[in-house]
Chain A
Amino acid sequence: MASLSGAKLLGLCTIAVGAIYAAGYVYTEPSAQAAAAVAGAGQHQTATPTGKGTSPSVSPSSAATSSSATSSSTASSSAASASASPKAKTVKYKDGQYTGSGSNPYGTLSVSVTIANGKISAVKITSYNMHYPQQFIDPQMINEVLSMQTWRVYVVTGATASSYNFAEAVYYALQKARA
């Protein structure tokens, strides 16, 4: 039976998913609240992100996947409250799609990296020819493990696997993308 706290957490989770979905995914940099109330938390996906300009400490280098307004960076705004801590420099990449391949003792793999607005927007696995272990890649493998049973398992839950296997492939793709 669920306790009151369980019901409260369920409520918070439900509200979270609904509110975030309704707001869309326009990225807004956190901003210190100055005198004026800051608008814009509820921008919809279709709204142009130009409203950002009104908030006191907009940092232009933060263009995320969905906002394309400010792709030119550097001019780190000298907004009063935000100036204290300088941001670490991150590598900028050229927009486009780049492929990279790698291997490990089990086989080869490749990825396709999409760069948008100078940042990594997606890394798709385009081939994964591993001999073993590929239980989370190929559900048929699991069927062999479960050979005494007849059902199919297409998806498996387990502790988080690291993406370490793909590091080499991603590295080569990002080398090509370096501006």
Chain B
Amino acid sequence: MPSNTGSTRHELISLSDSFLLMGTVVTIRIVGHSGVHEMRESIDRAIAAMRAVEATCSRFDDESALRELCRHPGEHMTVPPILYHALRIAREVAEMTDGVFDPSIGGLLEQQGFNRNYLTGEEVASDIPWDGSVSFRDITILDDGETVRLEKPMLLDLGAVAKGLAVDLAAKEIFGYEGFAIDAGGDVYVSGVDPSGDVWRVGIEDPVHLDRLLGSVQVQDLAVCTSGSYKRRSPKAPEVHHLLNPETGEPVEGLLSCTVVGPQAVLADVAATAAFLLGPEKALPFIESMGLAGLCVTTDRQVRQTPSMGAYRQ
């Protein structure tokens, strides 16, 4: 959408721009009393930070640091801070979920046809075979802040972690305004007030009727992230979505989406993704055990939420 400015009776102005990043549409809106020029510079800085995360962690870019790391199994590799920390978070979540969430799943996703660069349309072939024998336990991360070793050949996928991290880093680039919102295709972070001068209200998409909301949460300086099965489908088999169980290689059943509210987008996104993968029985207890609030929509269209979620919904 074109950048647009608008003013309200509260004499707030807002500027919003949209970009294609990480395979989705990223929209940043800044709200303030003045300074459209500064707002545009802040947005550009935020986008550059997000682009740096993408360039480092993308599975679809031959020249990403992630792909370079994957070309060197068995070696101690010095990796950039973005990749190091993204891997550390991903491995921790894998540990916590006993491998239900697993960043070594890239080869499986590639095999299922999730293998095109969203900008160039080029097919990505890593030439790393997937045989189901690798797991997150084959990722060794040293405590020095820069060293990683892949014990076996594998194609990493850091989708959930990288997008959340990108949103959090973008948020650090935007300051000194009345408010802002970053929306990276389901990963939302809001701060301060909206263009009407109210605390931001974040709509939660209805996974069954996409033109409707199933509700909203009112939050400040928090992330709201949704992980769901209802948008990304395998080009090879439409019944296969992009959230696969690494044990079975099958799509997860029982849930349509999980939404989590948390202090950072990376935390909320990985919690939502892990909860979704854990399935209907374990999803909400997992979100609660993380100290976070959330809700899940089951395949029989029931909405269930943690008690703590009530505080954000009206």
Interface, chain A (partner B; CB < 8 A): 1-3, 5-10, 12-17, 19-21, 23, 25, 27-33, 38, 41-42, 55, 59, 61-62, 64-66, 81-82, 84-85, 87-88, 90-91, 111, 119-128, 133, 135-138, 142, 145-146, 151-164, 166-167, 170-171, 174
Contact = CB atoms under 8 A, between A and B. Distances in A.
12 contacts: A27-B80, A33-B75, A55-B78, A66-B48, A120-B119, A128-B18, A136-B25, A156-B183, A157-B186, A158-B210, A159-B186, A166-B25
Query: Do most interface residues of chain B lie in helix, strand or loop, or is the interface mixed?
Result: mixed
A164 B233 CA distance: 12
Given A1-B291, A157-B225, A158-B204, A20 B81 contact: yes
Interface in B56-76: 56, 62-63, 65, 68-69, 71-72, 75-76
A65 B48 contact: yes
Nearest to B188: A157
Interface in B23-77: 23-25, 27, 29, 47-49, 51-52, 55-56, 62-63, 65, 68-69, 71-72, 75-77
A6 B92 CA distance: 10
Given A10-B267, A27-B52, A151-B198, 17 more contacts: A3-B289, A19-B85, A30-B72, A55-B78, A65-B51, A125-B17, A125-B18, A125-B19, A125-B20, A128-B2, A145-B212, A152-B194, A153-B213, A156-B213, A157-B187, A158-B205, A159-B205
B169 A21 contact: yes
A128 B266 contact: no
A135 B211 CA distance: 7
A85 B86 CA distance: 24
Q: Size class of B's contact patch?
A: 35 or more
Interface string B182-202: 010111101000111010111
Contacts of B78: 28, 30-33, 38, 41, 55
Contacts of A170: 20, 119-120
Contact of A17 (B17, B187, B264): B264
A16 B48 contact: no
B51 A121 contact: yes
A151 B29 CA distance: 18
A146 B257 contact: no
Nearest to A135: B211
A28 to B, nearest CB: 5
A40 B62 CA distance: 23
Contacts of A157: 183, 186-188, 202-205, 224-226, 259
Nearest to A89: B62
A167 B119 CA distance: 7
B137 interface: no
Nearest to A146: B213
B205 A156 contact: yes
Interface in B229-251: 229-232
Nearest to B29: A154
Contacts of B210: 133, 135, 158
B227 interface: yes
